Chains A and B, each alone.
Chain A
C-alpha cells in the first residue's frame, strides 16, 4: 500500500488536549478532550500504510485501520467514519476505552521507533465528528454501501465473501438475509450491543433485554463519566435503535423470563447471552462489613448509573470519606480511586504487586497520578479496623515482596514478616475483581457451565451446549476488556447467522 499523502515523520503522537489535572480532579467532566480536525489530519499522516497492517490483526473486531486513517489524512472524515462503523458498532466508545497499547497500537510499525500512530484517538475523532455531522456521516455510509454492492456485482459474489477471501483471519459475519428471524440478546453491555448491531444490519429482528433501567452494561454503570461520557453511550445506543434493535429495560432474564420462555413462548429463534461478570469479589479479611467499606461496583454504580455526584439534585446519595484507600491494581481500581478523589477524598491505591504487574492501563495510572492519587505498591491489606460506632477508621497493611513465578507466570507476592503498619482511613473501596452471576446458569436447563459459573461456549461460533443459545464476553471468559467482549459479540453474530441460515 502506498500513501497518497506525505507521511508525517514526527516520532511522538500528536498531543491530545486534556483538562488541567488539578481542575479536573474536582469535576466529572471528560478528561481527554479529543483532537481538533487539524490534529487528526496531522496524526493520521504518521501512518505509513505498511503493507502487512499488523494493526488490523491487533484489533479484536478487525477495523480496517490503514484505510480509515488514510481517509482522515485526506480530510474525508465521513468516508473514514463509514469504514470504521462498518466493522465496529461502537467507535466513539472503543476509541476512548480500548487498551490500544496492547491491541492495535501495540503492534503498529511506527511504534518500533517512536510512538505508534494514535489509532484510538483517530477512531474517537471520526466517531465524534460523525455525531456532530449526522447528515454528512449518513451520506458517507450510504456511499460506502453502494460501493460495496458494486464491488460485489463486479466480482459476482457477495460482499462478505469478497472480504473473507481477502482477510481470512478476520471475523466475518456472513452477509445473509436474516429478515423474519428473531433473536433475543440478554444483557446490554458491549458484547451484546455488538452482536445486536451486526444481526440487525442483516435484517434480523433483535430485542435486547436489560435488567437495569439503562442500557450499556459496564459502559453505563462501571466506566466513569470522566473517561466515557454517558451522553455518548446513549447516542451510540440510540444509533443501534435506529438500525432496528429494540430494547426492553427492567427485564432481568432468569427472573422475569427464562431462556426457554424466550424461545418457546416469545418465539425467539436464537438467544445470545452477554450477561458479563458483575458480582463483586471481596478480600475476605476482617472488617469488610464495616460502614465506609464498599465494593468498587457499589461506588461506581451510585456515581455513574445513579448520578450520585449530583445529589441532592439526583436522589441517590454516595458516601465519601476524607481519607480513602482503594484496594486493587486494575482499571476498576483506577476508576474508583479517581471517582473517590472527585468526591473530595484523599486517595491511596494499595496493590499487592509492583507497578509492572498492575493490570490497569498505563494511561489510567498516569492520569490517576497526575490527579494526586498516591500509590502504595507491594502492599496488602490484612485487616480493616473499626471504631466503636462500626465505621472504618484504619486499615492494617503488610509489605510484600515478589517471590517465584506462579502457574500464570506472574511472580507471586509474599508478605514480609513483621512489616505491618496501619493507614488511617474513613473509607475503603475494594476493587478485587468480579465474578459471574450464576442466575442464567441456574435457570437454563441444558446450559453447560464451568465451576466458576462461566458459560461454556465454542471459541469460534460462541455456540453453547444448548441448541440456539450463544454466549460471549465476560460471561464466558470472566472479567476482561470492552473490546474483547465486542470481538466475542461479533463472533457470536457470525455463529448465529450461520445457525439461522445454514450454508446450502
Chain B
C-alpha cells in the first residue's frame, strides 16, 4: 500500500496529491510517469510525475477529476492509501544540453511540464513557460513556475486574466520577438500539442510532445498505448511518452483517444451508484482532451 500524505485542491477540478513511495522517489525523473490502482476493483491509470522528494520519500501527482477513477481519487484523504503505485515508467524527457527552452503547458499539462521547466532552470537554461487555461480561475502553479522560469506567459481562452489567446499565439509572438529556442516542450491536450508542433516546424525548432494515450499495463506488453510516429506505431509507455512533435500523427492519436469514450460515461454512472468505484480507461490527461 502507498499512503497518501497530502491532498490539496489546486482549483475546482484539479487536485495535487503527495504519495509515499520512497523507492520511486529515489529514481523518477522529469517526464516519467507512474501507474496507479486505487483498490482491488480499480483500473490502472497513468499519471505523470509533478514533483518528487527523494529525501522525504514522496512522489507528487496532479490530476483532474474527469473520469470515474479520477473522481474517486479526488475523494481520497490524507491517511488513505493507494493499493498499487508503480514506476518510474517511460523515459525521462531529454533535456540535456538545452540552453534556451520554451515549456508549454495546456491545462493540467502545466503540472506535468513543471518538473521539466524546473530541471532546465536549475541546469542554467533560459526558460520561457507558456501556459494556457479556459479562464483565470483554472490557472495552475503560477508561483511555482515563477520560481523556475525566466519568463511566464499565462493565456486564457476567455481573456479573464487580461491575456486572451492560445498558447500557440504566445509562442509565435516569442519566436517573432527573436526568442532563439533550441527546445520547445509541449504537454497538454493532443490538439494543443499538434498546433505547437505546427508552429515550430517551419523554424526547425526541436519540439518534444508528451503523449497521453490510453494505457493498461504501462510496461510495454499490451500495445494499448500505440502512437503513430513517422511510419511506425510505437508504445508511448516504453518508447515515450515524449516523442518528436514533428513526427507524431496527432490526428491518429485523437481518433484512438475516443475508442473507450462510450465506456467512460457508463463508468461514471456506475460510480454514482456506489461509493467505491472507478472509471473507464481514462487518465486525467484524457479528460484534458475532452476540454480540447
A311-329 vs B: 1/0 string, CB under 8 Å?
A: 1111111010000000000
B14 CB–A CB distance under 8 Å: no
Q: Is the pair A306, B84 in contact by a Cβ cutoff of 8 Å?
A: no
Q: A282-B233, A298-B224 are in contact. Are A213 and B84 (CB under 8 A)?
A: yes
Between A221, A279, A316, the greatest number of chain B beta carbons within 10 A of the residue's beta carbon is seen for A316
* Residue B179 at the chain A interface, CB threshold 8 Å: no
Smallest CB separation, B75 vs chain A (Å): 14
B167 to nearest A CB, angstroms?
26
Interface: B278 (CB within 8 A): yes
Q: Is the CB of B233 within 8 A of A279?
A: no
Within 8 A of A (CB), among B242-287: 252, 255-256, 258-260, 263, 266-267, 269-270, 277-281
Cross-chain contact A312 with B267 (CB below 8 angstroms): yes
User: Would A291 and B258 count as touching, CB distance under 8 A?
Assistant: yes
| Nearest B residue to A211, CB-CB | B219
Measured between beta carbons, the chain B residues less than 8 angstroms from A389 are: 255
Q: Are A315 and B219 within 8 A (Cβ)? A: no
Please give, as numbers and ranges, the residues of chain B lying within 8 Å of A295 by CB-CB distance. Answer: 222-223
Q: Which of these binds chain A: B54-62, B86-94, B138-146?
A: B86-94
Chain B: which residue is nearest A255 at the CB level? B88
Is B260 within 8 A of A213, CB to CB? no
Judge whether A302 and B41 touch: CB under 8 Å.
Answer: no
**Is A153 positioned at the interface, with any CB of B under 8 Å from its CB?**
no
B277 touches A315 (CB 8 A): yes
Give the distance in Å from the alpha carbon of A314 to the alpha carbon of B42 in the complex. 6
Q: Closest approach, in angstroms, between the C-beta of B36 and any C-beta of chain A?
A: 9
Q: Are A312 and B221 in contact (CB under 8 A)?
A: no
Given contacts A250-B86, A291-B256, A315 and B69 within 8 Å (CB-CB): yes
What is the CA–CA distance of A211 and B88 in the complex, to the nearest angstrom? 11
Which residues from A are CB-within-8-Å of B89? 252, 255
Assess whether B27 is in contact with A255, with CB atoms less than 8 Å apart: yes
Chain B residues in 8 Å Cβ range of A372: none
B228 within 8 A of partner (CB): yes
A390 at the interface (CB under 8 A from B): yes
* Complex CA–CA separation, A316 to B219 (angstroms): 17
A19 and B37 alpha carbons, distance in the complex (Å): 34
A319 proximity list for chain B (CB < 8 A): 259-260, 263
Which single residue of chain A is at the shortest CB-CB distance from B68?
A: A315
How many chain A residues touch B (Cβ–Cβ < 8 Å)? 40
In this assembly, does A192 line the interface, its C-beta being within 8 Å of a C-beta of chain B?
no
Nearest residue in A to B279 (C-beta to C-beta)? A315
Question: Is A280 among interface residues, defined by CB-CB distance under 8 A?
Answer: yes
Kindly list chain A residues whose C-beta atoms are within 8 Å of the C-beta of B238.
Answer: 437, 439
Confirm or deny: B216 has a beta carbon within 8 angstroms of a beta carbon on chain A: yes
B288 to chain A, nearest CB (A): 19
- B24, B44, B266 interface centre (most CB from chain A within 10 Å): B44
A169-207, CB < 8 A from B: none
Q: Is A301 an interface residue (CB 8 A)?
A: yes
B84 touches A315 (CB 8 A): no
Complex CA gap A312/B279 in Å reads 8
Q: How far, in whole Å, are A251 and B85 apart by their CA atoms in the complex?
A: 9
Do residues B43 and A291 form an inter-chain contact, with CB atoms below 8 A? no
Task: Return the CB mask of A126-168 against B: 1 if under 8 Å, else 0.
Answer: 0000000000000000000000000000000000000000000
Q: Which residues of B contact A288 (CB under 8 A)?
A: 233
Within 8 Å of chain A (Cβ to Cβ): is B5?
no
Beyond the given A211-B86, A212-B219, could you list 12 further A-B residue pairs with CB under 8 A, ordered by the A residue number?
Answer: A213-B44, A249-B84, A252-B89, A280-B221, A280-B223, A282-B233, A289-B226, A297-B221, A297-B222, A315-B68, A315-B278, A319-B260
Q: Across chains A and B, which 10 residue pairs bring their CB atoms closest together, nearest first?
A: A315-B278, A317-B263, A312-B270, A250-B86, A278-B221, A315-B43, A390-B255, A298-B222, A316-B43, A295-B223
Contact sample, A vs B, 10 pairs, CB 8 Å cutoff? A212-B86, A252-B219, A279-B220, A289-B252, A294-B224, A297-B221, A298-B216, A311-B263, A314-B41, A316-B216
Which residues of A pack against B, CB within 8 Å?
Answer: 211-213, 221, 249-252, 255-257, 278-280, 282, 288-289, 291-292, 294-295, 297-298, 301-302, 305-307, 311-317, 319, 389-390, 437, 439
Binding site for A on B (CB under 8 A): 23-24, 27, 37, 41-44, 68-69, 83-89, 216-217, 219-224, 226, 228, 233, 235, 238, 252, 255-256, 258-260, 263, 266-267, 269-270, 277-281
